[in-house]
Amino acid sequence: MATVFERTTLSKVSALDYIDLDRYPIHDLTGPTATSVIARAREQVAEVGAAELPNFILPDGMVALVRDAESLVERAHPSGGVGTAWLEQPSSEWPSGHPRAHRMPYGVRAVGYDVIPYTSPLRQIYELPELTAFVEQVLQRGPLFHYADPCGALNLAVMGEGDQLQWHYDQTDFVVSLAIQDADAGGDFEMVPKLREPHDEHYDDVQAIFDGRHERVVTLAMTPGTLLIFEGRYTLHRVSPIAGSTLRHVGLFAYDTKPDTVSNEHLRFDRYGRRTAFAEPPVIWPSS
């Protein structure tokens, strides 16, 4: 039997129809269910720096998102190499063997916001004002704005055989992700909650993680359909190496507490393979 998304054209489907509004009524944030969900999510963020919201997307919505992700894979730009946990070029002041100088391999492909079609379910969900308001309520950081970077505001992260993200801290206070498809093996989201403090890097604890002492490591299930609101600036985390032929797909939703925030051209070129964004998402790919 055809799903509701196969029986109805995308233009006639509200992005809210993809979301389990009975469980997560983001369209009614003052109701008792939403109030309870928000309170629990705030507790999770306070305890471990992450609020995990399983089954955020309905089954039919997942069918649409997986199909959408598969159609976008050819638009993904690969980046990889070796990097540090602080996502920086190590300074000469850090001696060999110091955690700050420790390099680890990474590999990922990214589909930028500027090439994701307007009809994409992933794009439609990200652009929901109700979702922004919900995330705003959970994080309690004041008004939130969509990240203004034309490539980086929304990404589809694509990871395949051998890809991984090294142990690292984010350079932003928080990120929101939507799990779409698991790999055959690996691709686990692993983290060490609140390992770092504003005035103490806890280098000995970081080195212990690098040495394989993972007693403090927490693995989040991140099953497809899960929305994750994650504070990654002070929580060390990684995506473990991917194995198998099935691609891992995750949508990355970027917000900021200030309007009009963009990344620099160097970062844009490294991550998306271009310095200038498309004015409109190309209908076909590669774009002429």
pLDDT per position as a tens digit, 180-210? 999 999 999 999 999 999 999 999 999 999 9
pLDDT in tens, 37-51: 999 999 999 999 999
Whether 7 has a pLDDT exceeding 60, the answer reads: no
Q: Give which of 98, 97, 52 is closest to 193, Cα–Cα.
A: 52
pLDDT in tens, 94-115: 998 999 999 999 999 999 999 9
The structure's pTM equals 0.92
At residue 268, the pLDDT reads 87
264 or 283: whose pLDDT is higher?
283
**What mean pLDDT value characterizes the chain?**
93
- Categorize the per-residue pLDDT at 13 as very low, low, confident or very high, splitting at 50, 70 and 90: low
Taken in order of first residue, the domains within the chain and their CATH numbers are 11-272 (2.60.120.620)
Strand partners, 104: 83
Q: Annotate 54-95 with three-state secondary structure.
A: CCCECHHHHHHHHHHHHHHHHHCEEEEEEECCCCCCCCCCCC
4 or 46: whose pLDDT is higher?
46
At residue 288, the pLDDT reads 66
- Categorize the per-residue pLDDT at 265 as very low, low, confident or very high, splitting at 50, 70 and 90: confident
Residue 124: what are its φ and ψ, rounded to 5°?
-60, -40
Average pLDDT on 76-81 reads 96
Whether 2 has a pLDDT exceeding 60, the answer reads: no
